[in-house]
Amino acid sequence: MTSPTRTALTALAGVAATGVAGVAYAGLVERNWFALREATVPVLPPGSEPVRVLQVSDLHLMPNQRRKIEWVRGLASLAPDFVVNSGDNLAHLHAVPPLLRAMEPLMDFPGAFVLGSNDRFGPVPKNPARYLTRNYARPPKDDRIDLPVDELVDGLSAGGWADLDNVRTTVEIGPHRVELVGVDDPHIERDRYAVVSGPAADDVALTMGLVHAPYQRVLDAMTADGAGLILAGHTHGGQLAVPFYGALVTNCDLDTRRAKGLSRWWPGAGGNVPTQPEQTAYLHVSAGLGTSPYAPVRFACRPEATLLTLVSR
């Protein structure tokens, strides 16, 4: 074998080994390496007492994922003032009982939830390359599996959490009255913001929006109405990210710079044109805690829950 051929084969073997190692890490290590993120958000009136909001999202739970269940249960030790569940809890027909077990200690605290597409429709095998397309998470119309969403809603509601799917209401978070406005999942076009639209209440400390998939039409409408903080999930933070660059996709029309974490949003921000810059909100997108069972990998994007400390402006 000539020296150039040997060199080429050695290089090819090295690339293949690196690829195998990367897939093994993404599938066996990082997707189970749960992280608690923390962020401070200045959205309360001056002089307000801080409150803490715990956001959990996108568990995509399978009944045998005991480690994830116990990790989520352990979040109750944080003693948050409020818990937000931003959807996509299920990945199996029999996942509701273990999901409610995971949430049980958290339901000792007041909370609210919205649904995602994967609370209604189960995962099905897909071409992995579709992950890089915007429509990846849309359930196929012909072979989708209906999940027991009513059982999920009943269980979370029985725990005292408010169902915010196309609902506006007011709750107590610590010493503050907070207005909540939420919509059902825009990714499957179940959002009906027109039903709950209206100016933010002027007798509350904060108007907070909740949505599973952060589509611009919903973010724009909530912000224009005066929401100061919007919480979302769905993106998995890109799920497969490039180190030092970030997410490649968001699986919605949100830009990849906002695929996870805290950012600012204003009507028209998707085009980077601050048409009404005085109307701005903080947007927090959770990278979530799970993956589809048919795409069980994460790379440079650890699964997470987030503890948000809301402080005075």
pLDDT for the residue numbered 5: 56
Side chain identity at residue 198, one-letter code = G
Overall number of domains in the chain: 1
Closest CA to 208 of 233, 185, 226: 226
Residue bearing tokens 């196929």: 140
Residue 24 domain-assigned (yes or no): no
* Residue 128 in domain: yes
Residue 14: per-residue pLDDT = 46
How far is residue 310's CA from residue 51's CA, in Å, rounded to a whole number? 5
In a domain, 140, yes or no: yes
The reply to whether 45 falls in a domain is: yes
**The pLDDT value given to residue 19:** 42
φ, ψ of residue 179 to 5 degrees: the values are -90, 130
Per-residue pLDDT, 212: 98
Strands 304-312 and 51-56: antiparallel
- In this structure, is residue 242 part of a structural domain? yes
pLDDT by position in tens, the chain (length 313): 666 555 544 544 443 444 445 556 665 588 999 999 999 999 999 999 999 999 999 999 999 999 999 999 999 999 999 999 999 999 999 999 999 999 999 999 999 999 999 999 998 887 656 655 655 545 555 567 899 999 999 999 999 999 999 999 999 999 999 999 999 999 999 999 999 999 999 999 999 999 999 999 999 999 999 999 999 999 999 999 999 899 999 999 999 999 999 999 999 888 765 555 678 999 999 999 999 999 899 999 999 999 999 999 9
Inside any domain, residue 7 = no
Per-residue pLDDT, 162 = 98
Among 214, 146, 154, 150, residue whose Cα is nearest residue 186: 214
Give the closest residue to 297 by CA, choosing from 4, 9, 1, 33.
Answer: 33
Is position 250 within any domain? yes
List the domain range (segments joined by +) for residue 135: 33-312
Give the CA diameter of the chain: 81
Burial 170-187 (b: 16+ CB within 10 A, else e): ebebbebebbbbbbbbbb
Q: What angle do CA 218, 220, 224 make, to 5 degrees?
A: 120
Q: What angle do CA 99, 83, 222 make, to 5 degrees?
A: 110
- Assess contact for 260 and 301: CB atoms under 8 A: yes
Structure tokens at 301: 């994007």
The pLDDT, as a whole number, for residue 119 is 98
Q: Is there a contact between 275 and 74 (Cβ–Cβ < 8 Å)?
A: no
Residue 292, SS3 per DSSP: coil
HSE-CB at 221 with a 13 A cutoff on CA atoms is 18
Q: 85 forms bridges with which residues in the sheet?
A: 56, 113
Instruction: Quote the DSSP letter at residue 199.
Output: P
Q: Do the domain assignments include residue 5?
A: no
pLDDT at position 265 is: 96
| Coil/strand/helix, residue 27 | helix
CATH code assigned at 286: 3.60.21
Calpha distance 15→275 (Å, rounded): 48
Residue 18: predicted pLDDT: 43
